Amino acid sequence: MAHHLTIDQLREIVHLRRRHPSAEVLVHHKPWGIILEARCSGRAIELECIDRTGVVTPELPIACVCAA
């Protein structure tokens, strides 16, 4: 089933990219919504879960290893 991103989900992607400008941002589609993942040097540095209604469930931050 195709899942289109909502405006709120796109905003969260932009915020994640701004917090970690040198990180790679990945979007993992799940049946219940999406997981946003910021990766740097092969490691996840931040994760966010967003359900289909746009509600964001932030995870605990992981120490950043990226050079800003």
Domain ranges of the chain: 7-58
pLDDT at residue number 3: 60
pLDDT at residue number 14: 92
Note down pLDDT in tens along the chain; length 68 residues: 456 778 888 888 899 899 999 999 998 888 888 888 999 998 998 888 888 777 776 655 555 555 54
Q: Which two tokens stand for residue 31?
A: 């049946």
Rounded CA-CA distance 62/29 in Å is 21
DSSP state letters, 1-47: ---PPPHHHHHHHHHHHHHSTTSEEEEEEETTEEEEEEEETTEEEEE
pLDDT at residue number 20: 92
Backbone angles phi, psi at 7, to 5 degrees: -60, -45
pLDDT at residue number 34: 84
Query: Position 19: which residue type?
Result: R
